[in-house]
Structure 1
Amino acid sequence: MNNLVEKCTYSPEDNKLRIYVVDSDERFDDEVRGKLKDLGFIWAPLQKLYLAHWSPKREDFCAELGGQIVAEETTMLERAEAKSERLAILAEKRASESNAYSRAAQSMREKLASGQPVLAGHHSQRRVEKQMNAVERSQEQAVNLLKTANYWLSRAEGVEAHAIKKNDVRTRMSRIDTLFKELRDYQSQINHGYSVVRLWTEISEDKSEKREKLATYWAGSYMSNSRRTKKAAPSNLYFSLSNGEISVDDAIQKAITWGHALINNPDVYRWINHTLNRLAYEISAFGRVARYSGSLSDVVIKAFARKHGAESPICVRNNDGSYTLKSSVPLPLHISDGLELTLTDEQWRDLFVDVGYEVPQAKSKLPSIINANVKSVRVKLHGNVKELDVLSLTNKEFKAIYDDFRGVRPTACGNYRVRVCLDPKSNEVYYSRNWVVVFLNDSKSHPVPESDSFIVVSEE
């Protein structure tokens, strides 16, 4: 533990580590300063601390430097208020300096105005010109300082607005979605390791003549999974094998060892654990996740598994009503330690709550598109309700219209939708043409709905 470190903290609000330094004239030695720089820590002089986003190496360094990492005592909003106050003081100082320059310029201008007119060629002309230049410089300096003051004021307002936005519901939901994406990326690295080991194990057990060709092929190829395409072997293995530097057996062993290294990478597991903790923190802000009360199905369970990083999950319903979730590689550890998991209906619902998963609500269906042969239709168009005439066209004629000049719009009642387009039979330029409702005469005709949006005969 370094005697210059007061404490090391972590804040889940902004996912940052902070190293608080004691108030002393001493400084860190070159080795510590070099590590701080290499790890990306930034010095905040007014707060007397170093800070950086969390990573395994940074966490280890903080633990080494401060002994232990404790929870950050100040919230993001409190830090934002403190920074806003500092910026406001700075803005006030610049405004005061601006006023001083402005007063000086005004005072010199009044002295020049009350004096004797300057005569061209007189020995005092040079002195007066210098005074006028000084007035202009003072005025420019006052304007520049006022701009600087306004800049710091806007920064002060922005700091608090940023902190408030960070706690906004929509921002937090977006942050949760981002964390789930990161979780899937980390889990994908482990899944890829299992795929690599399985592939090269199959090649090693192949005793046919294709064994060498398979090894050479996969040594320089890529494997695709549900998320992305990745290397099937470590770098340069293909060249070493092709040039005869290593044997096929050695290449297979190297590839399997590399696959196990991907599976057992401690940093990846730390990232996964950290991401799960961050997810728990963010989700807890919304309170306890509601227990799913809807109809459980294999589709719901597979969607849950994919969101948490399972590799190409398969779910089947058993005869006793339970569901079995399977994957070609072991499931994520926070779900199950194995290739499959069988739970009853209620146990799956409990698992959703335990891991903070909320089943997305089904999107509401759009109103039906009505193809009715009427005189006109009241349509919501460009923010207003307009009564549009109906034009009879074929499917081919309608699809031949440029995409920007045709579409589907809701009726005035909102219960139905109709096809609309700019009148293709008008001789006017497109921006002057009227919108019309389209009746496709070569498609199925629907009965006229009971709605005042559809006008069969003209209203008198």
Structure 2
Amino acid sequence: MQHYSATYAPEDNKLRLYSLSRLDAETYQRVAAAGFRWAPKQELFVAPAWTPAREDLLLSLCETIEPEDTTVADRAAERRQRFEGYAEKRLQEAEAEHARVDAITEHIPLGQPILVGHHSERRARKDAERIQEGMRRAVKAAETSKHWDWRALGVARYAKMKSDPAVRQRRVKGLEADLRKQQRIIKESDTFLEYWSRPDLTMAQALAIANICHLSFCFPLDKYPRAAGASQYEGMRSLWSALDDDIIDAPAAQQLALEALTRQRQHAQRWADHYTGRLEYERAQLDDAGGDFGERFPFVAGATVLIKDEWLAVIRVNRSGGRIVSLTTTAPRHVHWTNTWKFGVEDVKDFRAPSADQAAASKAPPIVNYPGESMLAITSAEWAATNKDYKAVRVAQASAEHGAHRYRVIMRNCRLHPVFLTDKKRVDLPAAAAAAAAAPVPQPEACAA
């Protein structure tokens, strides 16, 4: 009887399978096909990352998955000790080979040539071969020892990197992006499940839904027979194509779509639950290490931040989910192809609050929104649906007629038109007097008496 146990470590997101005896051939094939690999020094099977399929496999073998007892630091310390042992052994071999070479050369005077024809010629040539071979082995062992020293150092650096707060902050941002992706899939699946669940679905309605719900299936001839003149293709094809070619009717398409979308939603929900659990773990670890990097400084536009060895001005503070995740700053000195650059908050080493003048200068002018003869009246939905390459927000400098402001433009019929959003609050042009009052008044120079 086989005895298995399985563990999961959120620290490195890996699943591990322990077995008290050798796996039978069938189980080994299942484990290997799922991506598990044998770790001989740890005497276990390990998968490089968690997936629903790997979790299902372990649950079928073990029924439960327990938390992993060892940490990344523990395993790193064990590996480093092992690698250092390898390095020490190879160094001893190099020293032993060098000592054997010294034993051969100690009776040979320095610069002594091989005496051709002398009775010592044969021994001298053998000694030369042994010296050359011994030095080759000594050099190779020394190089191997250096290799294992570097491996041991790499293991220590990797363990330190995994627990570094800045690395953990970036990992949190990546997990949040992955979670948002799965949430979008769940939302999309719910929408299409609602569409396909309509009673008495007609062919026209099924075609309309299949045109925006992109699902593909195989339609073998034994299950979906066709007329002699119809396509006999049995490979993957879209649901819309199968409906359009009369391979299936609306009820059959409805059943296929509901089953596929249900599976898709369940799969996405498992990933979302997994990412949620990992985020809870990573944020807890980040709190223990000093908290979120976005809360360590009072970031505002106009401030300056130290990134690497350069102070840069903050142009915009970028948020996601109510949290500060990155900063748009002036371009660093090595960047010459753009005027701005984006950095994660974890890259900031120091912070300087803006002065009153800097804060005022960093404040963007208002975006105007008012009707007019030259204005193109559209809705906010139309503006949002327009590709970013065909719309922009431009800045108008202060003049005698108006103050500084921003305005929207959009491309229509190969021309740029200023935009008035009909469902947004009206914002008129700022008065010129306000801009003049804000500007410093030059003082006349005093005349010499």
TM-score (norm 2): 0.58
Indicate the residue corresponding to 1:29 in structure 2: 24
Change (3 A) 1:65 1:78: same
The separation in 1 between residues aligned to 2:25 and 2:92, in whole angstroms, is 41
Counterpart check, 1:360 vs 2:324? yes
Look up the SS of the partner of 1:113 in the other structure: coil
Look up the SS of the partner of 1:183 in the other structure: helix
Indicate the residue corresponding to 1:241 in structure 2: 243
Q: 1:12 aligns with which of 10, 13, 16?
A: 10
Change (3 A) 1:175 1:112: same
Alignment of 1:34-49 (within 5 A): 34-49=29-44
Alignment of 1:409-424 (within 5 A): none
Look up the SS of the partner of 1:279 in the other structure: helix
Alignment of 1:449-460 (within 5 A): none
The separation in 1 between residues aligned to 2:332 and 2:28, in whole angstroms, is 64
Indicate the residue corresponding to 1:133 in structure 2: 129
The separation in 1 between residues aligned to 2:172 and 2:78, in whole angstroms, is 27
Residues 44 and 50, structure 1, Cα contact 8 Å, conserved in 2 = yes
Change (3 A) 1:204 1:106: farther
Structure 1, unpaired ranges of 5+: 224-230, 295-302, 308-356, 367-379, 384-402, 418-439, 451-455
Residues 13 and 75, structure 1, Cα contact 8 Å, conserved in 2 = yes
The separation in 2 between residues aligned to 1:381 and 1:285, in whole angstroms, is 31
The separation in 1 between residues aligned to 2:245 and 2:328, in whole angstroms, is 61
Residues 2 and 65, structure 1, Cα contact 8 Å, conserved in 2 = no
Give deviations 1:223-254, integer Å, cap 9, x for gaps: 6xxxxxxx256552234223322224433443
Look up the SS of the partner of 1:74 in the other structure: coil
Change (3 A) 1:363 1:33: closer
Counterpart check, 1:69 vs 2:65? yes
The separation in 1 between residues aligned to 2:46 and 2:199, in whole angstroms, is 48
Residues 98 and 145, structure 1, Cα contact 8 Å, conserved in 2 = yes
The separation in 2 between residues aligned to 1:250 and 1:69, in whole angstroms, is 39
Change (3 A) 1:182 1:98: same
Counterpart check, 1:106 vs 2:106? no
Look up the SS of the partner of 2:42 in the other structure: coil
Indicate the residue corresponding to 2:285 in structure 1: 285
Change (3 A) 1:114 1:262: closer
* Residue identity opposite 2:23 in structure 1: F
Residues 201 and 251, structure 2, Cα contact 8 Å, conserved in 1 = no
Distance apart, 1:101 and its partner CA: 0.7
The separation in 1 between residues aligned to 2:338 and 2:76, in whole angstroms, is 50
Alignment of 1:26-425 (within 5 A): 26-52=21-47, 53-113=49-109, 117-200=113-196, 212=204, 215-216=206-207, 219=210, 221=211, 231=214, 236=237, 237-263=239-265, 265=266, 267-287=267-287, 359-360=323-324
Distance apart, 1:360 and its partner CA: 2.1
Change (3 A) 1:43 1:253: closer
Change (3 A) 1:248 1:279: same
Distance apart, 1:190 and its partner CA: 1.7
Residues 241 and 248, structure 1, Cα contact 8 Å, conserved in 2 = yes
Residues 56 and 271, structure 1, Cα contact 8 Å, conserved in 2 = yes
Residues 98 and 135, structure 2, Cα contact 8 Å, conserved in 1 = yes
Change (3 A) 1:174 1:27: same
The separation in 2 between residues aligned to 1:75 and 1:282, in whole angstroms, is 14
* Residue identity opposite 1:241 in structure 2: L
The separation in 2 between residues aligned to 1:254 and 1:405, in whole angstroms, is 51
Change (3 A) 1:13 1:204: same
Change (3 A) 1:222 1:146: farther
Give deviations 1:90-128, integer Å, cap 9, x for gaps: 110000001111111122122333797532244542432
State the Cα RMSD in Å.
4.3
Structure 1 runs, 4 residues or longer, greater than 6 Å off: 380-383, 405-408, 413-417, 442-450
The separation in 2 between residues aligned to 1:111 and 1:153, in whole angstroms, is 35
TM-score (norm 1): 0.57
Look up the SS of the partner of 2:107 in the other structure: helix
Look up the SS of the partner of 1:90 in the other structure: helix
Distance apart, 1:73 and its partner CA: 1.7
Distance apart, 1:83 and its partner CA: 0.9
Change (3 A) 1:363 1:58: closer
Indicate the residue corresponding to 1:321 in structure 2: none
* Residue identity opposite 1:51 in structure 2: V
Distance apart, 1:46 and its partner CA: 1.4
Change (3 A) 1:195 1:63: closer
Distance apart, 1:382 and its partner CA: 6.4
Residues 63 and 69, structure 1, Cα contact 8 Å, conserved in 2 = yes
The separation in 2 between residues aligned to 1:405 and 1:46, in whole angstroms, is 50
Structure 2, unpaired ranges of 5+: 218-235, 299-317, 341-353, 362-396, 405-434
Residues 186 and 271, structure 1, Cα contact 8 Å, conserved in 2 = yes
Give deviations 1:344-369, integer Å, cap 9, x for gaps: xxxxxxxxxxxxx6632795887xxx
The separation in 2 between residues aligned to 1:142 and 1:202, in whole angstroms, is 79
Indicate the residue corresponding to 2:308 in structure 1: none
Look up the SS of the partner of 1:285 in the other structure: helix
* Residue identity opposite 2:247 in structure 1: E
Change (3 A) 1:27 1:13: same
Change (3 A) 1:164 1:255: same
Distance apart, 1:203 and its partner CA: 11
* Residue identity opposite 2:324 in structure 1: P
Distance apart, 1:195 and its partner CA: 3.0
Residues 169 and 286, structure 2, Cα contact 8 Å, conserved in 1 = no
Look up the SS of the partner of 1:9 in the other structure: strand
The separation in 1 between residues aligned to 2:283 and 2:166, in whole angstroms, is 12
The separation in 2 between residues aligned to 1:73 and 1:406, in whole angstroms, is 49
